[in-house]
């Protein structure tokens, strides 16, 4: 993936987030790009990403429950990208695309830490954590995986690419 171009006229939050102008927003297959932006790798910016993504999916009229799940998963994935992928180096962007196709919504999160592999998702051992035999942290990937329908990890030697997908069939009728 090439480095995105930025448009300063859309700069928000003191430079923390920028809309990607045009750029590599060409949809894959039937996917439509609802949003494409990047954030700087500073702790807390995951909230900007969450807000931008939830704003972008408003037009899909998803149930509140689905939006909340997606928002938390995106925030969590972006936090990982900032902390673990980009090592909190503010100058490194986390690039986020929101893609919709019939029956599917995907959020793609790309960081610059591809040389550090993302670990496999494991189920945290809560009993061990409560017995203080394991550290209390380590919930991020597990939480993401359980909040979306699909979590796909990819990338190359330079980038992590995390794709979080929701199946939209039936989502509008889950009554929440």
Partner 1 sequence: MTGNSFEASTRLRDGVAVLDFVGDIDARAEGSLTGAYAEASQSRPSTILMNFERVNYMNSTGIALIVGVLARARKEGRTIAVCELSDHFREIFEITRLVDYMGVYENEASAIASAGH
Distances (CA, A) of 44 to 3, 67, 141, 171: 22, 20, 18, 29
Answer for the pair 139, 145: CB distance below 8 angstroms, yes or no. no
What is the nearest approach in angstroms of partner 1 to the Cβ of residue 132?
A: 5
The contacts of residue 84 (CB under 8 Å, 6+ apart) are 113, 116, 118
Beta bridge partners of 63: none
Q: Give dist(CA 63, CA 157) in Å, integer.
A: 37
48 binds partner 1 (CB under 8 A): yes
Q: Say which residue the tokens 């430079």 belong to.
A: 15
Q: Which residues in the 94-133 window bind partner 1 by CB under 8 A?
A: 124, 126, 129-132
| 139 lies in the site for partner 1, by CB under 8 A | yes
140 touching partner 1, by CB under 8 A: yes
Q: In the complex with partner 1, which residue's Cβ is closer, 27 or 138? A: 138
Rounded to an integer, what distance in angstroms lies between the CA atom of residue 139 and that of residue 122?
9
Q: Does 16 bind partner 1 (CB under 8 A)?
A: yes
Q: Is 47 in the site for partner 1 (CB under 8 A)?
A: yes
Q: How far is the CB of 158 from partner 1 (least distance, A)?
A: 25
Residue 173 makes contact with partner 1 by CB under 8 A: no
Please report, as ranges, the residues that interact with partner 1 according to CB under 8 A.
13, 16, 42-48, 65, 68-69, 72, 75-76, 79, 124, 126, 129-132, 135-140, 142-143, 146-147, 176
């Amino acid at each position: 993936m090439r480095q995105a171009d930025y448009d300063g006229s859309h700069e928000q939050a003191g430079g923390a987030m920028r809309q990607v102008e045009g750029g590599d927003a060409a949809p894959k297959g039937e996917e439509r790009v609802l949003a494409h932006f990047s954030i700087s790798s500073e702790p807390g910016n995951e909230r900007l990403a969450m807000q931008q993504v939830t704003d972008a999916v408003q037009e899909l009229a998803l149930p509140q429950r689905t939006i909340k799940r997606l928002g938390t998963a995106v925030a969590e994935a972006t936090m990982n990208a900032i902390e673990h992928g980009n090592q909190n180096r503010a100058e490194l962007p986390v690039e986020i695309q929101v893609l919709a196709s019939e029956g599917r919504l995907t959020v793609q999160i790309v960081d610059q830490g591809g040389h550090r592999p993302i670990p496999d998702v494991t189920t945290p051992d809560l009993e061990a954590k409560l017995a203080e035999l394991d550290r209390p942290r380590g919930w991020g990937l597990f939480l993401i995986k359980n909040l979306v329908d699909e979590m796909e990890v990819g990338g190359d030697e330079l980038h992590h690419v995390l794709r979080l997908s929701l199946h939209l069939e039936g989502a509008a009728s889950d009554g929440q």
